[in-house]
């Protein structure tokens, strides 16, 4: 008898073939990866962070290597929401026949709402992933995601102008991520994406200056995985909405661990930058890992460690 392994999971009524979703900013708009493998094997993917206006991004150098990870300070470089809708999504449709997660960034509540309202009308978009790790320009540059009240305000403003499920992407650079997740859920969030990058820095010993032009950047990669697992575990205990877990995931075993902590689906970030086949390989390896741990239905293990 051949054992059947069911890898399907459900995010706010959207069923995907498997929980593996390349994370925003590490997979572009998918078509570069489509040149090397059929990306339709993925559950979905999160497109590059989109802002209302085009952004050139931060000065270079933007990347610093670390033990078991990397620091990036790309600065949300993207062509702006109008160009994404007019050019990127139609190009993507030629290589990817599933719906995508649209990642949205903004520097004011009005910007978030406008950008989300535009992407909400796009048939290819299944979920709006609202990145609240951006500096709030009207509040001295503090990230929306570091303050529960600001996080709730963004959530409510986006929910008011959209029909699709809205997932808030949370920053781990906070004292209490649980209260922020709870504030988002109370304001109407359909789900939580977590965690975004930690804040890190490297200094070049020869020049005695920071490696990254912006001095600091987002620290990602396998080194942050235990932090991500801990935060997902804590938030799962406090909210009823689904969680997309991310932070250092690089193997099918990591997927299982993150789902046991409470994630319904996962995102793969830095691993895609190290190995372009990382997400594909995780999908391919899932059935073998499920067999090893006696799992026939992946959705049965969500929150299983609680």
Reduce the DSSP state of residue 114 to 3 states and report it: helix
pLDDT digits (tens, 9 = 90+) for 141-172: 678 999 999 999 999 999 999 999 999 999 99
137 pLDDT band (50/70/90 cuts)? Answer: low
Please give the average per-residue pLDDT across 266-282, as a whole number: 97
**Predicted local confidence at residue 112, as pLDDT:** 97
Give the residues across from 102 on adjacent strands.
128
For residue 118, the model assigns a pLDDT of: 98
119 three-state secondary structure? helix
Residue among 143, 217, 126 at smallest CA distance from 177: 143
pLDDT-derived band at 78 (thresholds 50, 70, 90) equals very high
Note the pLDDT tens digit of each residue in 27-63.
999 999 999 999 999 999 999 999 999 999 899 999 9
Instruction: Give the pLDDT confidence score for residue 142 in this predicted structure.
Output: 73
pLDDT band at 1 (very low <50, low <70, confident <90, very high): low
> Cα–Cα distance between 96 and 105 in angstroms, integer?
23
pLDDT of residue 239: 98
* All structural domains of the chain: 9-301 (3.20.20.70)
Give the rounded percent of residues in the chain with a pLDDT score beyond 90: 93
What is the per-residue pLDDT across 7-19, written as a single tens digit (0 to 9) for each? Answer: 999 999 999 999 9
Residue 100: per-residue pLDDT: 98
Distance CA 24, CA 72 (A): 13
Q: How confident is the model at residue 294 (pLDDT cuts 50, 70, 90)?
A: very high
First CA to last CA distance, the chain: 33
**pLDDT at position 134 over 90:** no
What is the per-residue pLDDT across 90-101, written as a single tens digit (0 to 9) for each? Answer: 999 999 999 999
- Which has the closest alpha carbon to 53: 78, 74, 87, 75? 78
The residue annotated as part of the active site, out of 41, 66, 134, 241, is 134
Question: How confident is the model at residue 138, as a pLDDT?
Answer: 74
pLDDT at 2 over 60: no
pLDDT at 117: 98
69-to-48, 89, 263, 278, 289 alpha-carbon distances in Å? 20, 30, 22, 15, 24
Average pLDDT over residues 67-89: 95
Q: Is 134 a catalytic residue?
A: yes
Distance CA 122, CA 88 (A): 12
């Amino acid at each position: 008898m051949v054992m059947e392994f069911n890898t399907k999971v459900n995010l706010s009524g959207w069923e995907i073939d498997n929980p593996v979703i390349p994370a925003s900013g590490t997979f572009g708009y998918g078509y570069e990866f489509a040149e090397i493998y059929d990306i339709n094997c993925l559950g979905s993917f999160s497109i590059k962070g989109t802002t209302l206006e085009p952004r050139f991004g931060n000065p270079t150098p933007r990347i610093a290597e670390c033990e078991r990870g990397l620091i990036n300070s790309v600065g949300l470089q993207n062509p702006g929401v109008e160009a994404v809708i007019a050019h990127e999504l139609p190009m993507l449709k030629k290589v990817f026949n599933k719906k995508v997660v649209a990642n949205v960034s903004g520097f004011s509540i009005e910007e978030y709402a406008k950008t989300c309202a535009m992407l909400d009308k796009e048939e290819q978009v299944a979920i709006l992933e609202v990145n609240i790790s951006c500096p709030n320009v009207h509040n001295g540059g503090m990230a929306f995601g570091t303050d529960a009240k600001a996080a709730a305000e963004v959530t409510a403003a986006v929910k008011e102008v959209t029909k699709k499920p809205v997932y808030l992407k949370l920053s781990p650079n906070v004292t209490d991520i649980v209260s922020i997740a709870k504030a988002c859920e109370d304001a109407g969030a359909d789900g939580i994406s977590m965690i975004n990058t930690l804040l890190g820095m490297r200094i070049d010993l020869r020049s005695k200056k920071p490696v990254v032009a912006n001095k600091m950047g987002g620290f990602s990669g396998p080194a942050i995985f235990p932090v991500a697992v801990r935060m997902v575990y804590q938030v799962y205990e406090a909210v009823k909405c689904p969680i997309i877990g991310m932070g250092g995931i690089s193997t099918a075993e990591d997927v299982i661990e993150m789902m046991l902590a409470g994630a319904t689906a996962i995102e793969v970030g830095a691993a895609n930058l190290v190995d372009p086949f990382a997400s594909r390989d995780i999908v391919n390896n899932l059935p073998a890992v499920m067999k090893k741990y006696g799992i026939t239905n992946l959705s049965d293990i969500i929150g299983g460690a609680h």
